[in-house]
Structure 1
Amino acid sequence: MSFRKPAHLAAAALSLALAAASPASADDPVKVKVFIGSMFEIGQNTGDRAGEFQHWYERYFSQSKPITVKGAPNPVYCNDDGVCGSVFGMGKVASSASVQAIILNPQFDMSDAYFIVSGVAGTPPERGTIADVSWATWLVDYDLGHRWAPEEGEPGAPTFMPRKGYEKVRLFQLNPDLVGWAMQLTGKANLKDSESARSYRMRYPQESARRAPAVKTGTHMTGDTFFHGPGMSAQAQYIAKLYGADDYIITEMEVAGIAQVVQRTLGHQRLMSLRGAVNFDQGNPNETTLQHLDPAPGQTAGGFAETVDNIAAVGSRMVDHIISHWSEWKNGVPPLPRQ
């Protein structure tokens, strides 16, 4: 005796089978593998003078449609490989608010995402030079403390004291294995340079300031205040050492705030900070701090175009490796291979 399913049950079974076999719908969230964030772009995303995002856009997103995110000032772009990117805005508040809006937006699945926060920065001439590219080992918030005028304290003593209550958000150590991978993949990259940058370096007596650009690691100091001059530079190094971090090598304005958002929302150690140096954090011995902050025409550092190109060239090596080895990276940073 034969048995036939009712027509409505057969139709339901067929519908379920087709759904299981069909690809994800357009309403499914984008599975993000690597997210690249920059702080500003000078003009358009392509075809004009490049800011922090343009080279990333041209490498990964030129065929991508913009995705509008409520709470973020600029659209997100994603390619078919799971690489996404956006311009967050400058400063701790703007950039971290953008990151939170994007992470919490249901259009994206960020549960396994690696983050590269990239942009231009300053560097102390004792430890870096124009067009250097640096991966952060530590992030330090420059602002969370007490400060006073030098003449109101003990002569020659530090003019900064940490404020209690910020211990968990003023210092972040980035995943050492992730930094190790970054240096193994990019540490020997050939970086672009310019004649104007080479000439500018010669104004500084420090050996580090005069050398050719390279890929390096160290502490990235986050501060909304654009601190400047040898005194402020020394204070930044003092704070880095006070907190137990590596040498201060980069001054920037965003990533400690972004780190706090990523830690609160995702809780994993997949954040990288990648910065290129476009200026020194102080003048040379023949100029005052104010003269260096407001240079005469033709007296700027040079090398900006080369530096933003270097950042994307270095960072893309990391992005491409993660994407091409996703089965090994999805569940966490793989062990570093022996060299």
Structure 2
Amino acid sequence: MVNIVFNASRLLLMLVLLISSVGITRAQENTIPVKVFIGAMFEIGANSGDKAGEFQHWYERYWRNAQPIKVRGASGPVWCNQDGVCGAVLGMGKVRSSSSLQAILLSDRFDFSKAYFMLSGVAGAPPTKATIGSVIWADWLVDYDLGHRWAAEEGRPGAPTFMPRKGYEDIRVIKLNPQLVDWAMVLTKDTPLLDSAAAKSYRARYPQAIARGGPFVGVGTHFTGDCFFHGPGLSAQAQYMAKLYGVDDYTVTEMEGVALAYVIRQLYGIDRVMALRTVVNFDQGSPGETTLEHLDPAPGKTAGGFAESVENEARVGERVVDYIVTHWNEWKNGIPARQS
């Protein structure tokens, strides 16, 4: 009787293990190995066929025939093609975008162990550093919000109104992999960029040579803040913060980058993260224009070139995505050395 019970227990255990192994095998078969993940922050309407936001041009390039994959906790579905290029709209702002990305990264539907990440969106820029339609790769991501601020009249006249808060040193500044930034620039620096008559007319209001010039591909610090700061005063304060933190001058302002990079770093490291932003406005007004006028412009006074800018970003970014996928055997185990 004891042997019968023992053998029955063994058979039951073997059956459980067999069922478990079949379940694991099926789960592995359904797991998508991701080569490149593209994260955008918003789309204006549909994913195709209307006015494009940050996601539409990526969707039209890579996922026209893909089926949406719903992920619990994510702002929107994930899309993947047969080449292992996946992407999603993550939502605007640090909280929404980072929580959405974390849900995707923790989902068992995807294998991100060898993935490269491209964080993609629109941005503002100081007129001394970039112009409308430009596309800027990040070498540094900096959090604009982690610190102490006070009203100017409550401090020393002319002194900065910001002081870093201790305890955030590890999360307020993230340096991206210089080797990957170098690859990105080599692959994209000569990308033909679109421009528009409206953008040219708007740029002409600014005296700075860079602001008045045509769009270009460049590298610079991205400042991440949930606050849309405007005006030369806060722009100067942001440059003060950049110097305080020992990073390059800030080149663009955006709302998500450092938070998204932090989530990826916690789970997969930072070496394969890229951040790409296209400039759609200046973060301060032109001479004779008050900050409030710039923030809430009259009809006909807004910056042009939005449609061209979001197309430029996809033109630049796809060069890197396609190169990595095409040369996957060289890239899957790490960033290859670049031949000079």
TM over 0.5: yes
User: How big is the shift at 1:28?
Assistant: 2.5
User: How big is the shift at 1:25?
Assistant: 7.5
- Pairwise mapping of residues 301-312 of structure 1 onto structure 2 (< 5 A)? 301-312=303-314
Q: Which has the larger helix fraction?
A: 2
Pick from 261, 264, 285 the counterpart of residue 262 of structure 1.
264
Secondary structure of the structure 1 residue equivalent to 2:294:
helix
Determine whether 1:200 maps to 2:198.
Answer: no
Q: Once the two structures are aligned, what percentage of the paired residues are identical?
A: 64
- Pairwise mapping of residues 98-177 of structure 1 onto structure 2 (< 5 A)? 98-177=100-179
Secondary structure of the structure 2 residue equivalent to 1:57:
helix
Match of 2:13 in 1: none
Counterpart CA distance in 1 for 2:148 and 2:70 is 39
How many pairs were matched up?
318
Q: Kindly indicate whether the alpha-carbon contact (under 8 Å) linking 2:124 and 2:282 is maintained by their aligned counterparts in 1.
A: yes
Match of 2:292 in 1: 290
Match of 1:274 in 2: 276
Counterpart CA distance in 2 for 1:240 and 1:269 is 22
- Pairwise mapping of residues 15-164 of structure 1 onto structure 2 (< 5 A)? 27-164=29-166
Counterpart CA distance in 2 for 1:148 and 1:163 is 13
Secondary structure of the structure 2 residue equivalent to 1:172:
strand
Secondary structure of the structure 1 residue equivalent to 2:74:
coil
Secondary structure of the structure 2 residue equivalent to 1:286:
coil
1:239-282 deviation digits (Å, cap 9, x = unpaired): 11111111100100001001110011112411111000000000
Unaligned runs of 5+ in 1: 1-22
Opposite residue 320 of structure 1, the aligned amino acid is D
**Could you state the TM-score of these two structures normalised by the residue count of structure 2?**
0.92
Counterpart CA distance in 2 for 1:82 and 1:102 is 15
Counterpart CA distance in 2 for 1:116 and 1:274 is 7
Match of 2:235 in 1: 233
Secondary structure of the structure 1 residue equivalent to 2:30:
coil
Change (3 A) 1:181 1:24: farther
Secondary structure of the structure 2 residue equivalent to 1:51:
coil
Unaligned runs of 5+ in 2: 1-24
Change (3 A) 1:71 1:25: closer
Q: Kindly indicate whether the alpha-carbon contact (under 8 Å) linking 2:278 and 2:313 is maintained by their aligned counterparts in 1.
A: yes
Counterpart CA distance in 2 for 1:319 and 1:200 is 32
Counterpart CA distance in 1 for 2:143 and 2:270 is 20
Match of 2:20 in 1: none
What is the alpha-carbon root mean square deviation over aligned residues?
1.5
Counterpart CA distance in 1 for 2:207 and 2:26 is 59
User: How big is the shift at 1:188?
Assistant: 1.3
Secondary structure of the structure 2 residue equivalent to 1:246:
coil
User: How big is the shift at 1:215?
Assistant: 0.2
1:86-144 deviation digits (Å, cap 9, x = unpaired): 00000000000011000000000001110001010000001110000000000000000
Q: Moved runs in structure 1, 4+ residues, more than 2 A?
A: 23-28
Opposite residue 240 of structure 2, the aligned amino acid is Y
Secondary structure of the structure 2 residue equivalent to 1:136:
strand
